Structure formats: C-alpha cells, structure tokens
Amino acid sequence: MSSAAPTCPALNFTTHPSASPFAVNYESYLSTHASESSKYQYIANGAIVFDGSTPERILLLQRAAGDSMGSLWETPGGASDKEDPSILYGAARELWEEAGLIAASVGPPVGEGYLFTTQTGKRIGKFSFVVDVEEGPDGRLDVKLNPREHQSYVWASEEEVKARKVGDSELRFTKSEQEAVVLEAFKVRRETPKL
C-alpha cells in the first residue's frame, strides 16, 4: 500500500456543556448564527491541550518552515470539514492529525472566537476549545507531529508564553489573536472544573 496518512481512530469524546453550541456541523452553525456568519464563510477550530503538570503547560506547534506562516507557533487546529459531524469533532480530528493525540473531552470554548482572512480571500471564524486527551500506556502525552504541517513542538507555561520564549525557542505566533487565545486558555483552565 502507499504511504497514505494513517486512518483517524474513532473519536468518542465527551463535550463540556458550554461547548454545546458547537456540537453541530459548521454549515448548521453558520445557518443558525446569521449575524456572525455574515462576517465569515468558513469555520476553523483550535485544540488547547494542557499537560497536567504544575504549573500547567500548553501544547504549541511550530509550523513547517516551507508552509504558509512557516516557523511560527500555534495550537493544533484547522478547518472544520463538511464531513465533520460537528465543529467539536473537527477540533478533535485536527488534534489527532497534527499531534497524534486523541481527545477524551472537548470544551469549554476559549474566548469568543476571532475572524481572519486567508491569502486567497476566504473569511474564516476560528473557535478554540480546551481539550483533555487520552494518555499513552505509560501515562504520558506522546505527541506525534505530521512533518508536512509542523516541524517542532513545545509545552509552554503561562509565564513562558508571556515571555515568548521556551528554552532556546522564541515563540512568534501565527497571529496576535492566536497568542491572546493561548493566554486566555490558562484563565479558562483555572476557572473551569474538568468533566
């Protein structure tokens, strides 16, 4: 067989009650949020993963050097596809595709979402969610990057994100809104009990 990407496993995660508006596919979401959808045509998602350490650290991925926004940092995420049963499923799928992690629970949302426009002119609303993931057999979170999309990853504390530096890695984010979402995620994590 060819070197096709591995098949996505079954994604059977729980949903935080505050994320229930996103438990629909993106087309349904756009049709029921007409005032928002007039601003954007598509929906992207972000998965905010914490490692459970003290202090907790967040997973950040560095985009592949040859890709758009090469070598900049972001959380796992991407486009919600028509085939995704829900926006939340899209976040779980992107997390698995980009970092090899399987979502155990998705939500709560982080912030109100933000709008951006791609280089091709597509208007996209991006929504991010705190995602708890299944641990590996050894109790670790074993990140497996897709090298076509990302070249490196770090686990960053809130202080490291604020300093924009983890060890020798300078954190330059894909967008200022992405950096703001990452910082907001630490607050959401402290204020929201786990399911």
Element holding 8 (H helix, E strand) = none
The answer to whether the beta carbons of residues 133 and 118 sit under 8 Å apart is no
Inside any domain, residue 82:
yes
The confidence score (pLDDT) of residue 194 equals 63
The confidence score (pLDDT) of residue 193 equals 66
The model's pTM is: 0.91
Closest CA to 155 of 56, 45, 63, 78: 56
39-95 per-position pLDDT tens digit: 888 999 999 999 988 999 999 999 999 888 889 999 999 999 999 999 999 999 999
Closest CA to 25 of 79, 101, 98, 99: 79
Spell out a b/e string for 19-50, using b for 16 or more CB atoms within 10 Å of the CB, else e: beebbbbbeebbeeeeeebeebebbbbbbbbb
**CATH value at residue 89:** 3.90.79.10
Element holding 101 (H helix, E strand) = none
The confidence score (pLDDT) of residue 2 equals 39
Residue 67's alpha-carbon distances to 114, 125, 156, 161, in angstroms, are 22, 21, 23, 23
Where in the sequence is the domain holding 21, given as residue range(s)?
14-134+145-191
Number of domains in the chain: 1
| Residue 42 to residue 81: CA distance in whole angstroms | 9
Inside any domain, residue 162:
yes
Inside any domain, residue 140:
no
The confidence score (pLDDT) of residue 1 equals 37
Tokens representing 25 are 């596919």
Inside any domain, residue 1:
no
Predicted confidence (pLDDT) at residue 4 exceeds the cutoff of 70 = no
Give the mean pLDDT of 155-167: 97
Element holding 176 (H helix, E strand) = helix 176-191
Inside any domain, residue 4:
no
The confidence score (pLDDT) of residue 36 equals 64
